[in-house]
Every structure is written in structure tokens, then in C-alpha cells.
Chains A and B, each alone.
Chain A
Amino acid sequence: MAKSEAAPALCFGEKTDWLPAAVMAALLALLFVFILYPVVRVLWVSLADEKSQLTFIHFQNFFLRPLFRDALWNSLFSGFLVVLFGSLIAVPLAYITARYEFRGKILLQTLTTLPLVIPPFVGAVAFQQILGRSGTVNLLFMQWFDFTIPFMEGLTGVVLVQTLHFFPFIMLNTAVSLSNIDASLEEMAQSMGCHGFRLFRRVTLPLVLPGFIAGCLLTFIRAIDDLGTPLMLNYKNLLAPQAYLRITTIGIDDVDGYVICAVLVVLSLASLLAARKYLSLAEYATVQGARGVIRPLQGKRLAFVFLFSALALAISLLPHAGIFLLSFSKVWSFSVLPTRLSLDNYAEILFRVPHFIKNTLLYTGLAAGFAVTLGAAIAFLLLRSRLWGRNLLDALATLPLAIPGVVLAVGYIRVFHGWDFPGVGASLTSTWFILVIVYTARRLPYTVRACYAAMQQVHPSLEESAQNLGANRLRTFLRVTMPLISGGLVAGALIAFVTTCVELSSTIMLVPRIEYGPISYGIYVYMQSPLGRGAGAALGVVAILLVAVGTYLTHRVFGGRAASVFRV
């Protein structure tokens, strides 16, 4: 019997068809203009002198200035702390959910993904309200003990907010690795006399480590690239806010901003490549349909698990409660709880200034549509064609994972600002469409991945048998391929939608005018004044609801595999 070496049914073989080749060329051109070129421009500005000669002088200056050295150090240090504290919460939770069977496990698994639903900068506001200098907790401490704890001051606040937002990434990766270890691997060791902690150290730990490290690296990138949290907490001495401030206050010709962007790209790219390496190491331990080690949990251990989970969840769900409360408050300032409740904030954002929500739905809807269309086309070419340039296409479509939002936004400003785009009659950066473009570019890796995964499930023989029965290429695609991958397409669109509707780091740089701003921008603007906080929170609640519904639908469509898209 021949192994499945057969050429893919829709492959274009030796004879190159013009249509797929044209699609390939168009895709490459698009990705080049909107992903690669802006990034290269940013890097080039940081590496060129006035005469366009290669120079490292800007980097030298960067490292000579204490302000930037501090920003770099603070970014690395806070990223490390986020990973460390995040692991302390995530690893026990991952172990509990992957290895034990107990009542309420599903509930625990669901609740632990909720921190992802709240955008970190919204969470930051809520934490200010509860743990800030004049927040609920400190006011109570003041009343009772006459002292306060600076939870939210400086770097502490950033680390706190990011830890509680990002720990689910570590948890998901660790839990997946743990449940991918086939029980026989541990049983074999047991039958050879190895048990208890030795078993953990010699077999379990080495098998989980790659997945765990990959999760840590991903969290590290996200923490360093996060612009919204430090801005909201007004802590500026980190790389991302520094880049943002240089470009927005000093101007788009300020070289230092570009140097910071370049440093961010290097850090992100390095972490991403390392994460990929570790994940490919994790793959080898993955057994298809592994029979995981699952034990029942009772008695004292159950009580301990319950306490730990309740504590972790109570703290990480605090912002949800805070933002909800704030959205209904008329005034909540220097008081333990809001003094007066009202619906005014919702009236404001739904009727008086409804454009934030409308814009978000428009932009994210369009971006999700574009991203899925491009993603499907790219996945199709990667899997079913033998055309030249597939590796390049793959690399370009994956690149945005390693490009911080700030950097891509800076690149767009650099490339498109002051250049009348053909057919638009104005520069792209002066229209709202630039936001749709940046969202599409940034989420493309997710949709490509979702489409690729879906299409991979469709064995070429399914298409071949349709063609064998007389269906032409188009009919085959419509009647066989399309229905089979539609779940993947929908999931890809939902993931793009969910992650985009709370995007801030590129939004904040690219919004041309306030009335073009989406929800995330609205929240940022409202939060600048104490009086606007209520309305900002109401927008935050809308954002949370959008993300929650999107996430729920993703899980419905994708099942338990939804999390896999968030792995590199």
C-alpha cells in the first residue's frame, strides 16, 4: 500500500495555474506593504544617520542615557516579575485542573479564563479604584489602622495588574502540557520503582517544562509590549510608554522613539523564537489522544484546592467587580463604595456619544472579515499549492506576532503619513481605515493559524473523491472543503474580533480624530478626567461583554482547542 504521498487534490502540480500564482503575488505584495515595510522603515530610522549610512550611534546614545537604561531595565524586570508571580498562581491551578477530578472543575476552568476577558488597561482603572491610594482598601485601612499600602504606585501597580491579567496564558500552556503526558509514561517509571517526588523530578517535570517555559515567554512578550496598563497607571518609565511618548510628544522624526521601537522588536522577536523552540520541544512529548493521569480529589486536599482557587480567583476577578460598580456610579471618589448610583454613564455612551461602540463594531467586524479572508487564502496556498514563496508568505503572516502594536503603528505613521494614498485622495493615516488595516495585520497570524488547522483536517482524498465524482475545482471547494473548514473560519473570525475590540497600543497612536475612535480609545479618553471615569467604566463593561460573548462563541465553535490558537 502506498503511503499518503499523493499530491493534494487542489494542488497545481507542475503546470502553474495563473490564478493561484496571481493570488500569491497579491498576498505577498499586501503583506509586504502593510507588515514588513513599515517595520523595516522603523528599524532603518534607528540604524541610519542623516546621510542614510548605517550607524549604531543611536543605540549607543540609547544605552548612554540613564532614562532609557532605566526604562529597559524596568521593562525586563517587570516582565520577569509578571512571569514569576503569574507562575505562582498559574502552575498550581494548572496542576489541579489537569491532574484531578473534582466537583466544580469546569467552573474553575471557566473562571480562570475570565481575567483574559478584561482588557488590562480597563483592569488597571478598576484596580486603582479598589487598591489605589484613595481606593476602597486603602480607605478602609486608613479608617481602621491609620496607614495605607501603596499597591498601585509605580512599577508595583503595573506588575500587579499584568500578573493578574496574564497568568491564564501560563496556566493554559502548562495545563495542556500536563494533560498531554500519557499516563503510561509515569506508570512505566512507577513499575521501575520510581515514585513520589523522584517521579515528578525525573519524568513529569522534564515533560512539562517546555510548555511551561513557552507560556512564560509569551507572557513576557505581552507584558513588555503592553502600553495601556502603564499609561492608565501613569507610570511612564517603561519601553512601550517611552516609545509612545517620544513619537507623540516630540514628533515622528525623533530618532530615540525608533530606537526604543527597535529594542522592543528585538526583545519580542527573541522571546517569540525561543517560545517556538520550546513549543516544538513540547510537541515531541505530545501523544495523540493521550490518556492523562487524572485522580479524584477529596478531603483535606480538596479543601486546600478550594481555598487556593477561591483566593486566586477572588483577586483576579476583583477588577471585573470594580469596573462594574464604577460604571453604575455617579460619583466614586474618596469613598469606600460609590456614593450614588445611576444609569447616566450608560446613557452617555449609548445615546449621547454612541460612536465609540459603533466604530468598534465597524472596525473589528471589517478587520475580522479581512483577516479571515486573507487567512483562508494564505492557509490554502500554504497547504494546497506548491508555489514558490510559500515560506516567505508563512513568515510574513506570522511576523505580526513578534511586532508590538506601538511599533507597527509607528511604522504606519512613518510610511503613510503625508502621503496621499492612490484612490483615497488623502493620506491613509488621516482616515479611520488605517485602524482596520492595523487590526487586520495584527490579528492575521491568529486567523491564518485557525484556517490552517481547519484545512489540515481536510484530507486531500476528500477533495479527490469529489473531483473523481465529477465536481470541478470550484464545486469541490464549495461543496466539500468549505463546509468542512467553516468552523475554523468562524473561530478565526471570532478570535480576531475578540482580541481586536479591546486593542489599545496601536489604536492610541493611529486614531486620526476623536470621533473616529473605538471603545478602547474612548475608555482611555474618558479615564483622563475623574468625571469621565464612570462613562469610561461603562464602555469597559461593554468591552468585557463583547469579549466574553466572543470568547464563549469561540469555545462553542472550536471546543477545547480554542486555547491552542494562543500558543505560538
Chain B
Amino acid sequence: MQAAEIRLEKIGKRYGDLWAARAIDLKIERGEFFTLLGPSGCGKTTLLRIIAGFVAPDEGAVFLDDRLVNHVPPWQRDVGMVFQNYALWPHLTVFENVAFGLRERKIARAEVGQRVADALARVGLSAVERRRPSELSGGQQQRVALARTLVVQPRVLLLDEPLSNLDARLRAEMRLELLKLQRDVGITTVYVTHDQEEALALSTRIAVMDSGKVIQEGGPREIYERPRSRFVAEFVGEANLFFGTIKRTGDGCVEVQTDDGFKILAALASFPCAIGKKITLHVRPEAIALAPPGSGSPESNRLNGKVAASVYQGSSVEYEVDIDKRSIRARVSHPGNLFQRGDGVAVVFEPEDVGWMVEQD
């Protein structure tokens, strides 16, 4: 099997007046686990179907290993896809389902049996060959779908929200298995999901999409820790946002006066820091600590407020703290002492944990 490289150039697809994909440029390297992440209707599935060949783009070019495939039909692309609903053929047994693609490739009978058995063993399903898909649990169907696609050793694996029909526990388990499987096989994978945790856990790179456009592209840490827009900051994890103006710079640090009247220090090494410039800052809830009022070091940002809600979640506690007219969310891991609703607290966070984006909306 030869893992392929995928290149999308200026891809556009329109349904009526709506652009499902617009001016999309992406390069997905060999062996990468690339995720298209976005809310429903953002165009991520359309993009996946363009790669598979089920949707023809109105504009732009799709390359597989430098070969232009715009006009290559799906059955000649050698691209494996796992559908959201698994698309197992109900009239065929599990064995026949998995053997389907091998038969299309005119593989010898003995080899078909061997490869089907191997593929099913690889996904941990060996005893169900004779059953019908309707007799399997959701998790088993998922594995069969995966085995069926991988058994033909496609050059690219496309996964359309494959875990969304599973319950929470099974989803976590399958996520781990999928990760190991993909890294073992080394196949170029494009994964579509709206679940940010899944995207962060699985991907080598992520493209966050909205309204048919790629908003930001990068590794999981980059996407999570340095979102470049409010949309990404809020879609990938939670964010406390501050809108303000730069008041002072120096020492790799800027001081920002927020529109709602706070002063926040942020360590913004890479930002072209012009005084008077509008800026949006964000702080992740887990970067925020709560302290009794009046404690802590002066280098930190400190805002005094009152606990509006506290939600105990076992490994962490979620707080909503009212500060003047706004509220700030904090997630405290390994909580020592718990604050109650109505307690006065100081919200504390370090300048290094403050991210920025130019966008002001």
C-alpha cells in the first residue's frame, strides 16, 4: 500500500446561493491524520465527498499524488471511505461485506478469505463473519465498516463522523483504537467531525471550517492554544474573551485596557505591538485559578469578583465568577478548598496564558 498525498487547490462548491466550500487550499501529507473540524453545515462533509469523488467541485482542482483527479470517478480513485451510518449492505453477511472490494479487484478466492480474516482480526472481530449487519451492535458495525474499507488497502482513508453514532464510553474506546490503527497502518487519513475533543485527540493537523471556508489550520496544540479568531477560540474549547486596546508595551509584555474596564497583562512576544491598537484576548478556563481575595503575586492578572455558580465534576470544579458586569468561567483541577456560591474570590491568571487575536468583533 502506498499512502497518498492530497492537494486541494482553490476548491469551490456551490448549492444554489450557498457556498458549501469556497476557495479552499489544503495540502495533506502522506500518512497524516488530518481533521476537518466545524459545526454542522460548515462544508466539511462536502469537502470529504469532493475528495472521494461523489461531489464534483464547481471550481478548483483535486490532486492525489500530483495526479489531477477532478474527472476520475469514485470507483477509480482508490480512496476508502467510512460513512457516518457505516453503509453496511444489509443483504450481505459480514464476511461478504468485507470481501466486496476484494472481489471487485478480482482477488483470488483463497486470498480473499485470508485477507478478510486478517482485516476482521485487526479490528478485533473474528467470530461474526456469518452474521448480518443488523445482528451486530453499533460498535461492531463500526469495526466491520472500518475493516471493509481497510482490507482493500486504499491510498487514502476518509472518515465521515464515524464515531458520532456510538455512546460516550464506546466512542472513547474506539477513538483510541482508531488512533493506534491509523498510526500502525500509516495511511493518509482525512477525518470529519464536529467534536473538538476527538479532533484534538486524533489529529496530526486540523483545519477548522466555518461557512465553507477554512478558518484556521494547524496542529492540535496550535489550534487549541493559539486560536487566531473568536470562532476558533469558542468552537475549540471554551474561552473567556476580552476586547480592548493596547495601552503599554515592553519586555515581551503588553498591557491591555479592556472595553469593560479591566487592565490585563499579556505576554505577547510575536505580536506587532502598536500602542492604541484594538485587540481581542482570550484565556482558557483551565488557565484560571481562584484565590481568596487579596492573595497572590503582583505579576499575575487579578480580578476580584463573586462566585455565581460552582459545579463539582469530580476531577475538576467549574466556576462562574461575576466580575462587575461580566462573568468569567474557570475550571479548577484537583480542587483543594471549594468556593461556594456568593463567596468573594480573586480570579488569577498568568500573562503567559493569555492569547490574542487581531479580529475585533
Binds B, one of A49-57, A179-187, A411-419: A179-187
Contact: B54 with A192, CB < 8 Å?
Answer: no
**B85 is an interface residue with CB less than 8 A from chain A:** yes
How many residues on A have C-beta within 8 angstroms of the other chain's C-beta atoms?
A: 20
Q: Given the known inter-chain contacts A191-B52, A203-B89, A207-B91, please indicate yes or no for A184 contacting B83, CB distance below 8 A.
A: yes
Closest to B97 in A: A188
Which chain A residues border B63 with CB–CB below 8 Å? none
Which chain B residues border A191 with CB–CB below 8 Å? 52-54, 74-75, 77, 79-81
Which chain A residues border B89 with CB–CB below 8 Å? 185, 188-189, 203, 207
Contact: A190 with B75, CB < 8 Å?
Answer: yes
**A206 is an interface residue with CB less than 8 A from chain B:** yes
Contact: A285 with B87, CB < 8 Å?
Answer: no
**B261 is an interface residue with CB less than 8 A from chain A:** no
CB of A194 to closest CB in B, whole Å: 5
Which chain A residues border B84 with CB–CB below 8 Å? 184
Chain B residues 33 to 77 lying within 8 A of chain A, measured CB to CB, are 52-54, 73-77
Contact: A192 with B85, CB < 8 Å?
Answer: no
Complex Cα spacing A180 to B59, Å: 32
The 8 Å CB contact of B87, one of A187, A193, A194, A195, is: A187
The 8 Å CB contact of A194, one of B100, B132, B134, is: B100
**B109 is an interface residue with CB less than 8 A from chain A:** no
**A284 is an interface residue with CB less than 8 A from chain B:** yes
**B184 is an interface residue with CB less than 8 A from chain A:** no
Contact: B73 with A195, CB < 8 Å?
Answer: yes
Contact: A182 with B87, CB < 8 Å?
Answer: yes
Which chain B residues border A202 with CB–CB below 8 Å? 100
Complex Cα spacing A284 to B85, Å: 14
CB of A406 to closest CB in B, whole Å: 38
Contact: A192 with B83, CB < 8 Å?
Answer: no
Contact: A284 with B87, CB < 8 Å?
Answer: no
**A474 is an interface residue with CB less than 8 A from chain B:** no
Q: Given the known inter-chain contacts A193-B75, A194-B75, please indicate yes or no for A188 contacting B81, CB distance below 8 A.
A: yes
Which chain B residues border A207 with CB–CB below 8 Å? 89-91
Chain A residues 373 to 412 lying within 8 A of chain B, measured CB to CB, are none
Q: Given the known inter-chain contacts A182-B85, A185-B87, please indicate yes or no for A193 contacting B134, CB distance below 8 A.
A: no
Which chain A residues border B152 with CB–CB below 8 Å? 192-193
Complex Cα spacing A164 to B132, Å: 39
Q: Given the known inter-chain contacts A185-B89, A207-B91, A284-B90, please indicate yes or no for A192 contacting B134, CB distance below 8 A.
A: no
The 8 Å CB contact of B90, one of A190, A192, A285, is: A285
Complex Cα spacing A198 to B75, Å: 12
**A341 is an interface residue with CB less than 8 A from chain B:** no
CB of A184 to closest CB in B, whole Å: 4
Contact: B101 with A192, CB < 8 Å?
Answer: yes
**A287 is an interface residue with CB less than 8 A from chain B:** yes
Which chain A residues border B73 with CB–CB below 8 Å? 190, 195
**B104 is an interface residue with CB less than 8 A from chain A:** yes
Complex Cα spacing A202 to B75, Å: 14
Chain B residues 91 to 131 lying within 8 A of chain A, measured CB to CB, are 91-92, 100-101, 104-105
Contact: A187 with B90, CB < 8 Å?
Answer: no
Complex Cα spacing A149 to B152, Å: 59
Contact: B75 with A187, CB < 8 Å?
Answer: no
Please report whether the interface of chain A is mostly helix, strand, loop or mixed according to DSSP.
helix
Complex Cα spacing A7 to B80, Å: 45
Complex Cα spacing A207 to B76, Å: 24
Q: Given the known inter-chain contacts A190-B74, A192-B152, A207-B90, please indicate yes or no for A184 contacting B104, CB distance below 8 A.
A: no
CB of A151 to closest CB in B, whole Å: 41
Which chain A residues border B53 with CB–CB below 8 Å? 190-191
- Contact string, A162-189, partner B, CB cutoff 8 A, digits 1/0? 0000000000000000000010110111
Chain A residues 183 to 241 lying within 8 A of chain B, measured CB to CB, are 184-185, 187-195, 198, 202-203, 206-207
Complex Cα spacing A194 to B85, Å: 20
Complex Cα spacing A285 to B92, Å: 11
Contact: A192 with B52, CB < 8 Å?
Answer: no
Task: Give the one of B92, B104, B148 with max A CB within 10 A.
Answer: B104
Complex Cα spacing A192 to B83, Å: 13
Which chain B residues border A192 with CB–CB below 8 Å? 75, 80, 100-101, 104, 152
Which chain B residues border A198 with CB–CB below 8 Å? 104
Closest to A209 in B: B91
Which chain B residues border A187 with CB–CB below 8 Å? 52, 54, 74, 81, 83, 87
Complex Cα spacing A189 to B83, Å: 12
Complex Cα spacing A424 to B359, Å: 88
Complex Cα spacing A207 to B152, Å: 24
Closest to A284 in B: B90
Complex Cα spacing A203 to B75, Å: 14
Complex Cα spacing A195 to B101, Å: 12
Closest to B154 in A: A191
Complex Cα spacing A182 to B88, Å: 10
Q: Given the known inter-chain contacts A188-B81, A193-B105, please indicate yes or no for A206 contacting B91, CB distance below 8 A.
A: yes
Complex Cα spacing A190 to B75, Å: 5
Task: Give the one of B54, B92, B132 with max A CB within 10 A.
Answer: B54
CB of A78 to closest CB in B, whole Å: 32
Which chain B residues border A190 with CB–CB below 8 Å? 53-54, 73-75
CB of B47 to closest CB in A, whole Å: 15
CB of B20 to closest CB in A, whole Å: 15
Which chain B residues border A188 with CB–CB below 8 Å? 81, 83, 87, 89, 148
CB of A214 to closest CB in B, whole Å: 15
Which chain A residues border B90 with CB–CB below 8 Å? 207, 284-285
Complex Cα spacing A194 to B83, Å: 17
Closest to A187 in B: B54
Closest to A192 in B: B101
CB of A195 to closest CB in B, whole Å: 4
Complex Cα spacing A287 to B86, Å: 12
Complex Cα spacing A405 to B324, Å: 82
Which chain A residues border B132 with CB–CB below 8 Å? 284
Q: Given the known inter-chain contacts A194-B104, A285-B90, please indicate yes or no for A184 contacting B85, CB distance below 8 A.
A: yes
Which chain A residues border B104 with CB–CB below 8 Å? 192-194, 198
CB of A294 to closest CB in B, whole Å: 13
Closest to B134 in A: A284
Closest to A288 in B: B85
Complex Cα spacing A185 to B77, Å: 17
CB of A128 to closest CB in B, whole Å: 45
CB of B154 to closest CB in A, whole Å: 8
Chain B residues 124 to 154 lying within 8 A of chain A, measured CB to CB, are 132, 134, 148, 152
Task: Give the one of B79, B84, B87, B152 with max A CB within 10 A.
Answer: B87
CB of B217 to closest CB in A, whole Å: 26
Complex Cα spacing A182 to B81, Å: 15
CB of A284 to closest CB in B, whole Å: 5
Contact: A189 with B81, CB < 8 Å?
Answer: no
Closest to B101 in A: A192
Complex Cα spacing A462 to B84, Å: 31
Complex Cα spacing A182 to B104, Å: 21
Which chain B residues border A185 with CB–CB below 8 Å? 87, 89
Closest to A199 in B: B75
Query: Top 6 closest A-B pairs, CB basis?
Result: A192-B101, A184-B87, A193-B104, A190-B74, A206-B91, A184-B83
- 9 of the cross-chain contacts (CB-CB < 8 Å) are A182-B87, A184-B85, A188-B81, A192-B80, A193-B76, A193-B152, A207-B90, A284-B134, A287-B85
- Given contacts A182-B87, A192-B101, A284-B132, could you give 14 more A-B pairs where the C-beta distance is less than 8 Å? A187-B74, A187-B83, A187-B87, A188-B83, A188-B148, A190-B73, A190-B74, A192-B75, A193-B104, A194-B100, A195-B73, A207-B90, A284-B134, A285-B91
